[in-house]
């Protein structure tokens, strides 16, 4: 998962788009995911997200994340299929009895849920993988008028995930090298055996936070109006795409009001 939340430097049409366009696209996907619950619409949405990932040449990098998410998707599907009891019964999970019926609508609504979850999460991951965090923050502050402090907090949190995972690995290594083993099956022992990792992690993190606060202050954080070295421009493709997405969104809402795309 570590690689999934990081910017992946590549030269692709998606990378070249303005951050605002990509954020808008992620919001658009979110809106569509929530508007519809017909499995065909949602599978289509998922396909479109995968297409964008492919166009951004990050599909391969996202593969581990996709695999991980698919497990969740399967669980969602299973739960939905189990507890949805409308529609035609196809089979019973416990054969030869009438317990735990699985219905056709149950399966279809499970598929819809799984596809929705995958599209929403993946669109966010594609956004992160193809957009530099600085650009994203700049857009949020300048275009969406978010207070800089919040944008900065958001950026720092994202930035710290890989750092923390790295620290966890180093600490685990250091303790293993002194013969420490995360022990067997006893849950109490197991929790206790995490202390050698969690304690240094907390201390190191506090230290890092303190250092960062100092570094920010020495660089004049909060010292007044900010200007920017690089102001990302909206180009033709950005205006075009935004317009198309807006149009699609309007169409989507109209369709939904007319009762299309819902089961």
Partner 1 sequence: MTAARQPLIKVENLTYQYNGAQPVLKNISLEIGRGECLAVIGQNGSGKTTLVKHFNGLLKPSSGRVYINGRDTGPQKVSTLARTVGYVFQNPDHQIFHDTVGKEVAFGLKNLRLPAEEIERRVNEALEAVGLTGHYATYPFNLSKGQRQRVALASVLAMHTEVIVLDEPTTGQDYRESVQIMEMVKNLHEKGHTIVFITHDMSLVARYAARTVVLCEGEILADAPVRAVFAQPELLARSYLKPPQITLLAQELGKRAIPPDVISVREMYDLLQKARADKIGCCG
The residues of the shown chain that bind partner 1, judged by CB under 8 A, are 3, 167, 170-171, 173-181, 195-196, 199-200, 203-204, 207
Give 67 or 96: the residue with its C-beta nearer to partner 1: 67
Q: How far is the CB of 208 from partner 1 (least distance, A)?
A: 10
- Output b/e per residue, 100-135; b: 16+ Cβ within 10 A: ebbbebbbbbbbbbbbbbbbbbbbbbbbbbbbebeb
Q: How far is the CB of 167 from partner 1 (least distance, A)?
A: 7
Give 203 or 262: the residue with its C-beta nearer to partner 1: 203
Is residue 2 within 8 A of residue 158, CB to CB? The reply is no
Give 13 or 64: the residue with its C-beta nearer to partner 1: 64
DSSP annotation of 144 reads S
CA distance 188 to 25: 46
Residue 142 structure tokens: 């300048």
Q: How far is the CB of 258 from partner 1 (least distance, A)?
A: 49
Is residue 57 within 8 A of residue 48, CB to CB? The reply is no
Give 173 or 231: the residue with its C-beta nearer to partner 1: 173
Q: How far is the CB of 163 from partner 1 (least distance, A)?
A: 13
Give 57 or 143: the residue with its C-beta nearer to partner 1: 57
Is residue 127 within 8 A of residue 49, CB to CB? The reply is no
Q: How far is the CB of 196 from partner 1 (least distance, A)?
A: 5
């Amino acid at each position: 998962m570590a690689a999934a939340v990081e910017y992946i430097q590549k030269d692709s049409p998606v990378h070249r788009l303005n951050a605002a366009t990509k954020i808008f696209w992620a919001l658009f996907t979110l809106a569509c995911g929530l508007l519809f619950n017909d499995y065909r619409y949602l599978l289509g949405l998922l396909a479109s997200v995968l297409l964008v990932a492919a166009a951004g040449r990050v599909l391969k990098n996202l593969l581990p994340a996709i695999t991980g998410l698919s497990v969740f998707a399967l669980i969602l599907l299973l739960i939905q299929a189990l507890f949805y009891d409308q529609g035609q019964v196809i089979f019973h999970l416990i054969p030869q009895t009438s317990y735990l019926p699985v219905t056709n609508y149950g399966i279809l609504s499970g598929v819809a849920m799984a596809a929705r979850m995958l599209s929403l999460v993946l669109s966010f991951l594609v956004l992160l993988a193809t957009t530099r965090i600085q650009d994203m923050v700049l857009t949020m502050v300048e275009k969406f008028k978010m207070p800089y402090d919040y944008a900065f907090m958001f950026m720092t949190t994202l930035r710290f995930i890989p750092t923390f995972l790295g620290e966890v690995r180093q600490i685990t290594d250091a303790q293993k090298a002194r013969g420490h083993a995360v022990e067997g099956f006893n849950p109490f022992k197991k929790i206790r055996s995490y202390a050698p990792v969690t304690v240094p992690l907390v201390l190191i993190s506090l230290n890092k936070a303190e250092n960062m606060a100092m570094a920010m202050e020495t660089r004049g954080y909060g010292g007044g109006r900010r200007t920017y070295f690089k102001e990302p421009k909206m180009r033709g493709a950005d205006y075009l795409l935004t317009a198309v997405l807006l149009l699609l969104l309007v169409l989507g809402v109209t369709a939904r009001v007319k009762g299309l795309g819902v089961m």
